Amino acid sequence: MPVSLSIKGVPDAMVVQLRHRARQHHRSLQGELMAILDESLNGVPRLTTDEAISQLKALRLHTLGDSTAMIREDRDAR
C-alpha cells in the first residue's frame, strides 16, 4: 500500500528550483519529487531533451558524408 511522506522546512529557494524543474519536465511538484526519488533509488537518470542534446554535442560525433546523399542512395537501392 502506498505511503504518504512529508518533508518539513524546505527552504524557499529549493522549492523554487523544484517547481522550475517540474515545469521543465511537464510534471506536477509531486510527480517531479517521485521522479527524483525513483532516479535516486534506481540509478536510472532521465535526461531532459536539452541535457541529451548537450551531451550528444559534447561527443563531437561526425557523419561520414552528406545525409541527403546517403538517404537517396538507400532509396535508389530498393
Residue 2 domain flag: no
Total domains present in the chain:
1
Answer whether 66's CB lies under 8 Å from 77's CB.
Answer: no
Residue 70 domain flag: yes
Q: Which residue has the cell 540509478?
A: 43
pTM (two decimals): 0.55
CA–CA dist 50, 31 (Å, integer)? 20
Residue 5 domain flag: no
Torsion of CA 21, 22, 25, 27, to 10 degrees: 170
Residue 3 domain flag: no
Residue 16 domain flag: yes
Residue 6 domain flag: no
Domain range spanning residue 35? Answer: 12-76
Helix (H, G, I), strand (E, B) or coil at 27: coil
pLDDT tens by residue, 16-74: 999 999 999 999 999 999 999 988 888 877 788 888 899 989 998 877 777 888 888 88
Residue 59 domain flag: yes
Residue 71 domain flag: yes
